[in-house]
Structure 1
Amino acid sequence: MNSDVAIGDLSGREGLAGAMGWRIGAAAALVVFMAVLGAVSASAEAESAPGEIVRFSVIGELPREPFAADEFRQVGVTDDAVAQITRGVVPSRSLTLAAPKADPNNPYQIVATWNDNTGKALSMRWGSPSWGWLKVSNKHNLTTAAARTTTKHPESRVVESPSAIRYRTPVHRVECAVGRIGCRIVETRTVRVIANPIRLTDGKAKGVITAYCEGVTWCPNWVKNAVNA
């Protein structure tokens, strides 16, 4: 008798738990839906009204006079980012490389490889406090992506020796007026990259020795946060 009651009671509890679980699941789904809807609404609200100003930074040469947003494509800004600028949204960065997870005991470990504006193979290696990623990041507050974009869109490229190529290019803070053909430069820093193209035993270039903002040791954050870096 007691056994029958215990079994019936257990079944009832399981049914109640199932119902409660369904309700909790439905409520969780509703919360997720509302969060997504809120994010979409927030994204729409983030678009600026005509005449308002969108501010961001870009690596590479740009016209000195007011220019249209299409000019950003010339320095590697993606079509999606240009479309965001046109809508009055601060463009998202699409080229950013994550901080490397490298063996600190192997300074020659490769972080990234790419070709410069002439097709010369380059790389970023883990390095040490005197060269490579550790120096670029920890001493000068720049990133692999910023160094890469500088070498792909340099204002000047000079072969100083077989083991050193010097790249220089401006990084601009710009303002764009929404709904108008009117982007303009408001501040500029020049980034310099020194890279060694000589290949090592792994077949890759020794790569970036240093990258920094001329005139200062620590680059402002807006330089490394450029939309094409």
Structure 2
Amino acid sequence: MRKVAAIVIATTLIPLGVVATPASAAPRASWNTDEKCVQKDWDGRRIPTRVGNSELGWRHLSGPHNIKTCKLIDAALDGKPDKWSDQHRNLEYWGSAIHNGRQVDFVVKVRYAKKTDDDRYTAPGRKGKIGVITAYCRGVTKCPSWVN
């Protein structure tokens, strides 16, 4: 008895005028790249907080996390990163706010790179950085109003 090898070739028909993109390519997301505030850390990094959208930037952090002014972000960025990863592209700055004997610790997360990890967002300009992705108070759903 003779064995026969079979080769099956799967094809997909793509209509003319349609460009196929790899499945791994993430769709570009729309976001406002205007700068709401800018701070330099102690290492000289210029870090913008962009207006953004509901996923990152000012619009993401101001509503859900109740941060209404740049003061909290500026306070955290006025120092050196407390945590970093991915060749210093993902940075965390930590801070504490104290008012009338009450204290709240907060975190500001920064993407110091041209693009986000998933390639969905790109900063404008040749040397632009994504900047502040989010900021929040630890241990609470929303920052107390007095931090603003």
| Structure 2 Cα separation of the partners of residues 201 and 137 of structure 1 | 22
For 1:153 and 1:208, locate their aligned partners in 2 and report how far apart those are by CA, in whole Å. 15
1:113 CA displacement: 2.0
TM-score by length of 1: 0.43
Identity of counterpart residues, as a percentage? 24
Q: Deviations over 1:175-225 (max 9, x none)?
A: xxxxxxxxxxx121101000011143413221000000001121001112x
Q: 1:124 is paired with a residue of what secondary structure? A: strand
- Residue 217, structure 1, aligned to residue 141, structure 2: yes
Q: CA offsets per residue over residues 71-128 of structure 1, 9 Å max, x none?
A: xxxxxxxxxxxxxxxxxxxxxxxxxxxxxxxxxx752222222211321110011111
Aligned pairs (5 A) from 1:63-74: none
Aligned match of 2:96 in 170, 187, 190? 170
Normalising by structure 2, report the TM-score.
Answer: 0.65
Work out which of the residue numbers 130, 134, 147 in structure 2 matches 1:206. Answer: 130
Query: Would you say 1:190 and 2:105 are equivalent positions?
Result: yes
Of the candidates 116, 122, 131, which is equivalent to residue 41 of structure 2? 116
What are structure 1's unaligned runs of at least 5 residues? Answer: 1-104, 175-185, 225-229
Task: Give, in angstroms, the shift of residue 171 of structure 1.
Answer: 0.8
Separation in structure 1 between the aligned mates of residue 93 and residue 112 of structure 2, nearest angstrom: 13
For residues 18-97 of structure 1, what are the structure 2 equivalents within 5 Å?
A: none
The CA distance in 1 between the partners of 2:130 and 2:70, in whole Å, is 14
Q: Distance in 2 between matches of 1:163 and 1:211?
A: 16
Q: Are residues 204 and 114 of structure 1, via their aligned partners in 2, closer, same or farther at CA, if it must alter by over 3 Å? A: farther
Q: Which digits, 9 at most, give the CA deviation of each residue in 1:7-37, with x for residues without a partner?
A: xxxxxxxxxxxxxxxxxxxxxxxxxxxxxxx
Task: Find the residue that maps to 1:117 and give its secondary structure.
Answer: coil
Instruction: Answer whether contact 1:165 1:196 (CA < 8 A) is retained.
Output: yes
Larger radius of gyration: 1
Q: What's the RMSD between the two structures over aligned residues?
A: 1.9
Secondary structure at the aligned position of 1:108 is classed as strand
4+ residue segments displaced more than 4 Å: none
The CA distance in 2 between the partners of 1:106 and 1:168, in whole Å, is: 26
Contact 1:150 1:193 in 2 (8 A): yes
Q: Unaligned 5+ residue runs, structure 2?
A: 1-29, 115-122
Contact residue 32 and residue 51 of structure 2 kept, 8 A: yes
Select the structure that is richer in helix.
1
What secondary structure is seen at the aligned counterpart in 2 of 1:217?
coil
Aligned residues: 108
Aligned match of 1:149 in 51, 75, 87? Answer: 75
Q: Which amino acid aligns with 1:190?
A: D
